[in-house]
Amino acid sequence: MDKLKPKETAEGERRKGRRAPLMVLEVKGKHFEKVFVGYAENVSPGGLFLSAAQPMKVGDRFPVEFVLPDNVTTIRCLCEVVWKRRYDSKGTVTEGMGIRFVDLDQTKRKAITDWVKREEDKRHA
């Protein structure tokens, strides 16, 4: 049975890393030799929320590729589904899953961390 992610509150924040919302980031993946495209609505150095027409099961692993909104940094790594649920973004309910980056190298992790920090700084300026 798939785990459902518990609802989060400001006091009960469970995420470990900073994250930044994205407009919509196209993510390409491959699962059981089938290529799919999903859309990420936020990203952190540890993973992202991915909406896809056919969400996978908790525990599924698959390679992903996406380009950060800086249009320069390409991220390629293995990821794992750690939770899935319906996600409400701006009044639109989306089926999705939280994915964790499994083998993201430190250079790419730092690129994501730096991008997230720049986005946070813009929002708080």
Q: Cβ atoms within 10 A of the Cβ of 7, count?
A: 7
Which pLDDT does position 98 carry in this prediction? Answer: 92
Torsion of CA 117, 119, 121, 125, to 10 degrees: 180
Residue 2 has pLDDT above 50, yes or no: no
| Averaged pLDDT for residues 6-17 | 46
Average pLDDT rounded to a whole number, residues 42-60: 86
pTM of the model: 0.71
Angle among Cα 49, 50, 51 to the nearest 5 degrees reads: 125
pLDDT tens for 74-92 read 999 999 999 988 766 666 6
Cα-based distances in Å from 80 to 46, 77, 120, 122, 125: 11, 10, 26, 30, 34
DSSP annotation of 77: E
Q: What is the DSSP string of 39-54?
A: EEEEEETTEEEEE-SS
At residue 113's C-alpha, the angle toward residues 2 and 95, to 5°, is 25
- Domain spanning 20-124, CATH class: mainly beta
Domain boundaries, given as residue ranges, for the chain: 20-124
